[in-house]
Amino acid sequence: MILRRVGEMGRFSVMAAVIALFFALHISIGAKAIPVVDVFTALIARDETVFDHIVVWDLRMPRALIAMVVGAALAVSGALMQGITRNPLADPGLLGLLAGASFAVVVGYGLWGSAIVPIMPLVAAGGALAAAALVFWIATAAPGGARPLTLILAGAAISAFLSAVIAAVQLLDQENFEQLRVWLTGTISGNRMDYMGWCLPWLGLGFLAALAVARQITSLAMGDEVAIGLGVNVAQVKVLSLVAVVSLTASAVTLSGPLGFIGLVIPHAVRLFVGTDYRFVVPYSALVGAAYLLFVDIVARVALAPIEISTGLVTSLLGAPFFVWLVRAKL
Considering the chain, what is the average pLDDT of its residues? 87
**Residue 267, SS3?**
helix
pLDDT band at 330 (very low <50, low <70, confident <90, very high): low
Look up the CATH number of domain 73-330: 1.10.3470.10
Check whether 315 has a pLDDT greater than 80.
yes
Rounded CA separation 317/324 (Å): 12
3-state helix, strand, coil split of the chain in percent (to 5) is 80, 0, 20
**Residue 227, SS3?**
helix
Task: Give one DSSP letter per residue of 37-72, joined into a string.
Answer: HHHHHHHHS--TT-HHHHHIIIIIHHHHHHHHHHHH
Q: pLDDT tens across 169-228, in order?
A: 877 777 667 767 778 888 887 667 778 888 999 999 999 999 999 999 988 877 778 888
**Region 122-147 average pLDDT:** 86
Rounded CA separation 68/147 (Å): 32
Q: What is the model's pLDDT at position 58?
A: 87
Q: Where are the domains of the chain?
A: 73-330
Q: What is the model's pLDDT at position 151?
A: 83
pLDDT band at 297 (very low <50, low <70, confident <90, very high): very high
Q: What is the model's pLDDT at position 190?
A: 67
Q: What is the model's pLDDT at position 3?
A: 47
* Residue 111, burial from CB neighbour count under 10 angstroms (0-12, 13-18, 19+): exposed
pLDDT band at 7 (very low <50, low <70, confident <90, very high): low
Q: What is the model's pLDDT at position 267?
A: 94
Model pTM score: 0.91
